[in-house]
Amino acid sequence: MIFRTAMFVLCAWGIFGVQAHAQIYLEQAKVTVNVDAGEHTNGTLLVHNTSSEKVDIKVYWEDFQYKSPYDGSKNFLPAGTAPNSASQWITFSPQEFSMPAFGQQMISYSVTVPSEIKEGHYGVLFFEKSSSGELNHEAVTLITRVGCLFFVEPNNKIKKAALQDIVLKDKSIDASFVNLGNVVLIPHTTFYIMQDAGLVVLRGECKKLYVPPGASGNVVIPLKQALKQGHYTLVVNADLDEGDVVVKEIGLSVDASGQVIVENSQQ
Amino acid sequence: MKNKLGVVLGGLFIAFQTAAFSATTLTVSATIPAATGISLTVTPVNSSTGVWGTSSTSATTLPFGTLTYNSANGIYLPSNSFAIDIGSAGGAGTPTVAVTYIEGTNPNGSSVNGGLGTKTTATFATEANTGSTITETLAALGKKRLIDLTGTAGELTNIPAGSWERIYVGVWTGSTTAPADPSNGKPFSNTDIAGTYTGSLTFTAVSL
């Protein structure tokens, strides 16, 4: 619903200049560290102040967990409270600093893995713009923070998943992507539907999922066009990165009325 | 002499062939890291006239100030509401931004009258820039009390390229004009205990 349409002279309002900048700008949105038990590794992050005013920043750690429907949305939790927290393994410095206008600051971090690592450990390093507002009247304080996600995973990680529970919906075929491994899986899933003669009649990709170990996310394969009567094979490829792929072949048949039937499924 | 000329021409031919067919491929590549950035631009909007004031990119509060009594409706109102433009771009990444609220000081305590979060609302809108025109569309998140912005209730995702999100924050008045104030909100009135009501809005930007 459109409830207001307005015409503006671009330079008069100045809002576009603002949209092009970020007051806190973190070059690395995500750090992935593949480690062995007992390993120690270091790294740096670079944060920028892209505004024309000094910014005070405090740095702190929180845990996070991907949450259902595993579309990337997360729960943020206090450090050390998630079962797969990496908070005890990470140190960083500095924890507070000021950046002058258009300045930048390097943050050093180190990861020290204990003598055993059985699964992926995760967390987020937040950079929060400090507020020093003294409130005398009704006011809402604004807090902005950007986070760098940390994925600390064993070198011998188990990336294993299954596509199961194939269900025909109104205009899609849905499947459950079940994470059977010990790290978060972020499958990039593509599919194609092939006639018996080998001709591909439909192909596409599915929305990314962010599935922690033991959880399952819903893969939706949209049927964007009606299929003619006949027999088809639906091939689903879930690319788990680093060369790992889960492939599922599903037989489909379409009757004279256009009704799709999921015939069978095979690995 | 003829033999020498032949040797020279043969050498030139071989050199030409070598120069022509021993091409070297230089791979050109550049990697832009997935970045995360956030900016807020706060603009006060006069509650009576609707005139927009001066925008600030360094504002750290939405100061409603001392409210004034509106005798016609029997409620207290501020002179301004606020528009917050959220810039989450600025790099190669497309972070999600979650807006959450935490109640601060509340002179009403545990009274049913509630605190600032019950008496203020956030209206989520998507701004699309098409050339010299900005089109504003009410976002799917709609209008909510600030106190209801917990978890993913205020999570901004799937923002179209070239668009950005804007949040209008104002005091609850019971307006029924679309988008109407949520029915579970409450106004500041004489049933509230005098004092300072505060809260904080946190804008969190992380990648997926």
At a CB cut-off of 8 Å and minimum separation 6, what does A12 contact? none
Question: With 50 as the cut, is the pLDDT of residue A17 above it?
Answer: no
Q: Is residue B52 part of a domain?
A: yes
- Give the B window 117-146 contacts with A, CB below 8 Å: 120, 125, 129, 132-138, 146
More confident residue, B19 or B191: B191
Q: What is the pLDDT of residues A23-82, one digit of tens each?
A: 899 988 899 999 999 999 999 999 999 888 899 999 999 999 999 999 988 999 999 999
> What pLDDT, on the 0 to 100 scale, is given for residue A224?
83
More confident residue, A4 or B169: B169
CA distances to A173, B23, B113, B148, B174 from B184, rounded to whole Å, are: 40, 73, 11, 10, 9
Q: Is residue B131 part of a domain?
A: yes
Is B182 part of the contact surface with chain A (CB cutoff 8 Å)? Answer: no
- Indicate the domain borders of chain A: 17-131+143-154, 161-266
Q: What is the pLDDT of residues A122-156, one digit of tens each?
A: 999 999 987 655 555 568 999 999 999 999 999 99
| Average pLDDT value for residue range B178-195 | 95
CB B163 within 8 A of CB B171: no
Q: Is residue B19 part of a domain?
A: no
| Average pLDDT value for residue range B160-182 | 90
Q: Is residue B115 part of a domain?
A: yes
Q: Domain limits at B98?
A: 39-206
CB A192 within 8 A of CB A205: no
- With a pLDDT cut of 70, the percent of chain A lying above it is 87
Question: With 60 as the cut, is the pLDDT of residue A90 above it?
Answer: yes
Sort A123 into a burial class: Cβ within 10 Å, 0-12 / 13-18 / 19+: buried
Which among A51, A143, A147 has CB closest to B200?
Answer: A143
Architecture of domain A17-131+143-154: Sandwich (2.60)
Tokens of A152: 């600390």
ipTM confidence score: 0.81
A17-131+143-154 and A161-266 share one CATH topology?
Answer: yes
What are residue B134's phi and psi, to 5 degrees?
-115, 125
Which among B62, B93, B104 has CB closest to A29?
Answer: B93
Which superfamily does CATH assign the domain made up of A161-266 to? Intracellular proteinase inhibitor BsuPI (2.60.40.2360)
Number of domains in chain B: 1
- pLDDT band, residue B9 (cuts 50/70/90): low
Chain A, nearest residue to B84 by Cα: A142
> What pLDDT, on the 0 to 100 scale, is given for residue A189?
95
Question: With 60 as the cut, is the pLDDT of residue A21 above it?
Answer: no
Q: What is the pLDDT of residues B36-82, one digit of tens each?
A: 888 889 999 999 999 999 999 888 899 998 999 999 999 999 999 99
> What pLDDT, on the 0 to 100 scale, is given for residue B100?
94
Cβ distance of B39 and A50 shorter than 8 Å: yes
